[in-house]
Chains A and B, each alone.
Chain A
Amino acid sequence: MSGTYDIIIIGGGPAGLSAADSAVQNGAKKVLILERDREVGGILQQCVHNGFGLHHFKQELTGPGYAQRCYDMVKDRPEVEILVDTMVLEVRTDKTVVAVSPAKGRLELTAKTVILTMGCRERTRGAIRIPGTRPAGVYTAGAAQRMVNMEGYLPGKKIVILGSGDIGLIMARRMSLEGCKVQAVLEICPFSNGLTRNIVQCLNDYDIPLYLSHTIVAIHGRDRVSGITAAKVDEKMRPIPGTEFEIDCDTVLLSVGLIPENELSRGLGLTLHPKTSGPVVDQHRETSQPGIFAAGNVVHVHDLVDFVSDEAEIAGKYAALASLGQSPAVDRVIEVKPGAGINTCVPQHLRLGIEGENVRLFMRAAQPKRGVKLVITSGGETVLTKPLAVVKPSEMIAVDLPAAKTAALSGEISVAIDEGV
């Protein structure tokens, strides 16, 4: 472990591992993955359920199975070095990376390019300000998932879950399988924020009630959670007086959203997007700082790890080319703007050469809709349309812009949902 690396990758989850594999395939000779946990694989290691990999590996895998596949791709590559138990403290614009580990102490490493693959963190009770006492027994769903699936502890026996994000739904089933009673899942939105399949197989299968447009207005208990007060909310998500009811429980799990983990990105001075909370990137996943790339949940929270791997492979390829001084020439920059009905779109801009290139855009809809059309326009002209039977904020939309289309682009493009189909 010495000298300058072609690429240092911050985080050894699926994004980091996929980026490393792609970087080596594209010519990188010296790649280092820094991982703060005791092993690589990231959060997949605690996602013991199946449903991963159908797009990327064309095979249905469990989370640990997907992590294993990613690790197997890089573990025997002499070009890839992995340091676990290593926490990165700082990344500088000159691509110096400062890290610490119990085994190696303080490390100051240098690279030609850096790929940020730190993933995301869960929002906590503090982030949503639930009133009530402060007893033990309130966990984020992911923390509880790690306890149950990796450490071998049950966080409680009688559970209420706030938020219908996928981790919350998966945990509702997981706790049921372990003999716990899941009393209810409460969702403040009028629609679920998880994948439909998870409502079916995690809630309906176990007769767990889902209360839409409901939230927790108080948590009770002195030393340990003894129950919660739930209430219906109005269209502005304010609790409606008189609708309160009590639910008996000893544990509250929060599945109330994920936030890309960008402390290092902020330290680097990267431009972050206010809606995705991740770095603004081009189609190669290069950030506002040349030579600093980012991929996966650190850029925008995905619902499918398969798309994380796809995105990381792009970042790995172009970081490798940049480290070899072979970055493609840029002729023009095309901004990508979310239009009507679209909340976020990644990448936020395209840096194109004279010839076009195939670009995949990832969007999230602002509202659930049926029978709509995705319309991409530029300067009043329609570039591409795609009919969509159903759009949901919880399910990312992917659309491919072929090279022939991007070659012809000269100005800003806008991506919108057209309801008048």
Chain B
Amino acid sequence: MAIEQKVLNCIMCPMGCEITATIEAGVVTGTIGNRCPRGAKYAKDELTAPMRMLTSTVRVTGGRLRLLPVVSADVLPKGRILDCAEALRSVTVDAPIHAGDVVCPDVLGLGVDIVASRDMERA
């Protein structure tokens, strides 16, 4: 059975560990170089079904500022990130907003909410 090694840079935190993953029959069987368990999970996901967080902004009405920064509550499939960003372009919310409020539930039916990154008081 073919044993393959792939080198990838972890993106879970700014440490950016360089991970060497061992792949046997399409399955990640080991990782070296990651300084925490998140790295092992990242390597497994990245080599099978890559996932990414999404951050963007949505329009706010009645707020102190015109835009509200938002973040996905969890990772989304990498291949759907641009679709999700496009979906957020048509979302408008009303102030006041609190950090963590859901601004777009279950984005594109992917099971992940988009939430506010910060408070937004009324103007």
Give the interface of A toward B (CB within 8 A): 38-39, 45, 48-51, 54, 60, 62-65, 67-68, 148-152, 176-179, 195-197, 199-201, 205, 303-304, 389-390, 395
Contacts and interface: CB of A to CB of B under 8 A. Distances in A.
Contacts of B56: 48, 177
Interface of B: 8-14, 16, 18, 33, 52-57, 59, 64-67, 69-71, 78, 81-82, 85-86, 89, 99, 117-119
Nearest to B78: A205
25 contacts: A50-B53, A50-B71, A51-B13, A60-B13, A62-B55, A62-B118, A63-B117, A68-B117, A68-B119, A149-B67, A149-B69, A150-B66, A151-B66, A177-B56, A178-B85, A196-B16, A196-B18, A197-B10, A199-B9, A201-B52, A205-B78, A205-B81, A304-B14, A389-B18, A389-B33
**Residue with the greatest number of chain A CB neighbours at <10 A, chosen from B52, B53, B57, B82:** B57
A51 B54 CA distance: 11
A49 B69 CA distance: 9
Given A54-B13, A65-B117, A200-B9, A205 B52 contact: yes
A263 B41 CA distance: 47
Contacts, number: 91
A211 to B, nearest CB: 19
A35 to B, nearest CB: 15
Nearest to B18: A390
A196 B59 contact: no
Contacts of A205: 52, 78, 81
A370 to B, nearest CB: 9
Contacts of A152: 57, 59, 66-67
Given A62-B55, A177-B56, A197 B69 contact: no
B85 A62 contact: no
Nearest to A179: B86
Contacts of A149: 57, 67, 69
A14 to B, nearest CB: 14
